[in-house]
Structure formats: C-alpha cells, structure tokens
Structure 1
C-alpha cells in the first residue's frame, strides 16, 4: 500500500517492481517466438547457466536490446540440438529464433527466459552468411586465385597452422615424418585457435607471420582435425576466406569433416577431409615424382644390362674373329718371311760369289799393272834428274859469264 509522505502517495521500490511483475505475469501468460541476435552468450561454467545479451540492429545500429536467461538444463538440451543440426555450438554473434517467456524479478529486472531455440533458423542464417562470402569473393575476382598457383614439384617445406595439442596435428606428423619411403620434410608450427569467435583473427595473424618468412616455405597447411563437424562456421568468414584466396603460396586445408564444405576449403589450393589425408596428399606428390624416376632407373638399369650383355657377346665374337684373322695373317706373314729369308740368303750367296770373283780379277790386274808402273816411274825420274842437271849447268854457265862481264 502507498505511504503518505509530505502529502504525496509514495510507493516503495519493491512495491513498484512487484506490481510490474504481477502485471507482466497476468499480461504475458503464454510463451512466444522471438527473433534476435545473441551478441553474447555469457555462459558460466560453474553454474551451467547462461545470460545471453539479445540485440536487434538496423543499418548496423542497435535499436533494441534485452537481457535473457537460459538455465542449465535448457542450455544442455539446446546446445546438443545445435551441435547435431548445425554442427555448431551455441556461441556469440549468431541470429536465433527462440521460444521465450517474459520474466521479471524485483532484484534483477526484466528478462526473457529462453525455453527453446529453433536451429533451422540459425542454420539458414549461417548458410546465408556462407553464400554472401562466396558472392563477395567472386565479385572481387579472387575466389579461385589460390588454386591458380603452382605447387612445387616436391613440396618439402610446410608452414603449419594448427594447435600443438591437436590430435589432427599429431596424426599429420605421424604420417608425414614416419613415412616408409623416407621422404624428408621440413615443417614449422604457427599455433592458432581453430574454432570459436577468435579463430578467424588467430588464423589470420599466423598467416601474416608466415608472409614475413614466405621464402622459406612451399605450402601452408591449415590442420584442425579431432573436432568432428562442430565449430566450422568460422571457416565461412569472409576475412579468413579472402586471406587464403589471396595468399601468395598454395594453402591446403585439413579441417576434419566429411560434409558441408566451407568457403575456406573451397578457395584453398587443395582440401583434404582429414589431416591424415592431407599428409597422404603431400606424400603422393613425392610419389608422382619418385615412382616415374624409379621406373626410369629400373628401365635404364635393365636396358644397360641388356646392352652390356649384347655388347659383351658381340665383343667376344669380335675377339674370336680377331684372333682367327690375326692368326691367319701371322701364319701367312711368317711363310712370306721365311720365303724372303731364303731368297735373300740365295741372293746373298750369289752376290758374294760374284764379288769374290771380281776381286780376284782386280787383284790379278793390280799385280800385273804395278810392275809396269814402277818401270815407267823410274824412267821418268831419271829423265827429270837429267833435265835438272842440264838446266843447272846452263844456269851456272850464265852466272859465270855475268861475273866476268862485271869484272871487266
């Protein structure tokens, strides 16, 4: 009841709030469906209750907002349905169509008590966001740009965006590092959150880090895995999809689900259903190179062996023929040489005999001729001496006459 204070009917705050509570309870007896954006879920793990902040926006501005309550049992039921239908949990920033009752508490004020949420409405909104992202990327002409890049023949250097404790990351390393063919890879982890409202920012930050050392890598691998199909809506986000579409080296994804391909997977260079399949994809690239090389090596070895065998047989035949020919030539030359030696011996004996006879004749001739020459020589000497003597006498006679003339 009101209290009269200074001639004024005055109500206490509890009376006012209880009156409002009563009025609202009488006016809004049944539940009703409401559409709004859940800007913040405000889930408290210790109690299990949620206190979502609901807003309605127009042209980016908030035109209405209200607090709501989602009690633990209702939250568990609704969240399980969301994960089953949307493959997404309840989270911040989604549009919802929910069944609610007006709730008013004198202590906490007005709120909507959420009883149920229709996942098909949110699914439609998420699909709308996905299609909008695809439309924008195609309008900008960048939707398929990453797919046009050239993957190195042997993509050995891998920049990995993942969580160090992720099962998918562990599976990837197990396959890639312990491969039975002993292919060698270099990989470096760039840790990031892979689901939730902070995933887009976290992944993009790591992609920016990779850009700074891009020359050290051949490919980027985004490895989620281990989370089933839950929490994939961030991979339809425009900013993340755009970053991957424009990335300067190929980006391959192993997000780890089998249905409902995300935009990130659509724009990436290649997509694998699981991290294990991604590792096998990279190993296959090595196979594509090594298997033909191995086959070529085997073919070369086989061909070389056959050529060597053929040439060895041919060589042996040539050696055999060579030996036969050389033996015939040697025998023939030996016979020719024997004949020539015999002929030379006969001719030598004939020549020696002729020369001996010639020398005997010359000797006899020299013996007869030498006596005649001696006699002729003695005569010539005597004549010369006589001539000298006579000339000497004439000379002396002339000198004597000259002396007599001088004395006169």
Structure 2
C-alpha cells in the first residue's frame, strides 16, 4: 500500500515532523513493505516558517525579539525565491509555547516581537511577505506589531498605550502611517488558520482567550477592548472586524488586512501547494493526517480539514489521529475526513498526555495498520 502521512504539529508537544515519524514507525511495525511518504504540514501556525522555507530550499535566519510578556526569545524568519519572499510566523516570536501554562497573562501578552521579526525580514528588501498566523499568546489586535513597525497608538494624554490587549482600552488616537509606509512595494499574504471573526461569541477573545490564560471576566474585557480598537480604526476608514479570519491570532488577521492591506489565504492550502501534496495524494491508497485536537473548530481552516478536502478531490480516504477528539465532527466529514480517532488510550493528565504522545501515536498507527491490512485481505 501507498500511505501519505500529512500531519500538523501537536502544539507544545511534538513538531509535525515528529508526529509524521511516529505514525510511520507504528505503521511499519505491521507493514514494513508499504510505501510511506511523510509530509509534515502547518496551517499558518507553529511550523509554517520551517515547512515553507524547507520546501522552497530557502534560508532560515534567527534573531532575538521581544517575547509575549517582554522576555527575549529567539525567533526565525525565512527567505525564499532568492530572497524575494520573506516568511514570518507569529508563533515564532509571539507564540503560546513561549509562556508556561501557569504564567500566561492574556491581558498583557503583546505581539511586539512579531513586529520586530517583520522588521528584521524587511531589511532584506523582499517583494512579498508571507505572514503565518496561529499559535499566538496574544489578544492585542496586532497593536504590538504596529508599535514595533513605528505606529503610534496614543491615549488621551498623547502617551503610548501599554502593551497587550489591556492597553487598547486607553487608546484614543492612532498614527499608523509609519507602519504602513514600511510595506511600500511589498505584497503581504496572510496564511490564516481560522475563519473566526474579531468580535463576539465566536471571536478572538471568546474562542481563543481561555487557552491564553484569560478568565471569563478577562475574555469579556478583551472583547470590549478589541471592539474599542476597531471603532477607533474605523474612524480612519479602516475595517479590521467585518470579515472571516479577522479574529485569527488574537486579531492580527484583522489588523493585517484592514491596516496593512494584506490578502488573507487559508494557511494550510498555501503550505500544501508549496509542498506539492496533491501529486503524492493522487497515487496514495490512504492518507493519514493528525493534529493535537480534532474538534468542531477543525473544519475552519485547520490542517485536517485542508488535507481531507484535497484527498476527497482525489478520491482518497483520510484518517485523522489526534490527542483530543471532541465536538461535532459532521462538518469535517462533509469536507472529506473519513474517520478520526484519539490516540489517548485512557483518561490522563495533560502533562502525561504530552509525555506519552509520541508512544501513543506510534501505537495508534500500528493498530490502524492492523485494521486496514486485515480489511484489505478480505
């Protein structure tokens, strides 16, 4: 059999390559003669820079930038197409994985480091910039990025507002032209991993705020602050809230399109095209995809949905593996996912699930191979 293994990372746990290798290792225990093709993916979030830069045989650059809560972190950007295209990923500079679970402060987390990473990439004078969203620790509407790029976000006294989503409440005026000018002659494409709006019950704060450390009260505060931010920018003729994906990465999606003029594109589609996934799927007997969680949100731009849709167009079945399986999966099945299975064999603490994720992936893949080969022999 010809098996294509095309997973995303298990965030804060395993890289996409580690996930693919574990699945292949488990399958090979049962069917060592099967042809296994490992194609690690990303959807705009963690791993996008490496996936795209590697696929295009580009060059990675490392710089030190400001982390989500102000600490220095090492982050990478990529240059491809002979330096004409830069790849910057929010998760590299402002990712949730930079902040331990017990130290997360959704109100204070800033995207400034991503802005600094963009500045470092722009020094190479690219003609295009791909901005990967997803996996962020921030809910500041991209305010930190704008500040790093030279914009002035001011309170009623003419002072710069504080960092993070909490600072948006005190903003009364924005001078955005310095940030906008930096992109003259540069086309911005945003690789977006969700379709959530900026505001409301499906918005950036409500859906993603809790995983970033926000309490119920803080979720409401962040949503109000983002709404305030959007209203001020609207007075300058800029819409950051009315379109799908505006809530991606804590509102960076809305800012990138509404302020910087970026074009939003499903991140997984961009990565799959760059890696030429379709040509491998067309000759496959089965596709296996994976992500840390497969749930109702997965159909909104996540890797399993992208892989499933591509495989369905080729008439190939797709199995999804994940650490956590929950919610209504009908939209995913409608997209093309044949079935999904959790790799977690029993109830366990999250820390234990992380520790055992690689072994559990391997075991689940082995059992899946046993089932598929048993059926194929009948």
TM range (shorter): under 0.3
Q: TM-score, normalised by structure 1?
A: 0.26
Structure with the larger RCO, 1 or 2 (CA within 8 Å, 6+ apart)? 2
Question: Hey, which of these two has a bigger chunk of helix by percent?
Answer: 1
Q: TM-score, normalised by structure 2?
A: 0.27
Based on CA coordinates, which of the two structures has the bigger radius of gyration?
1
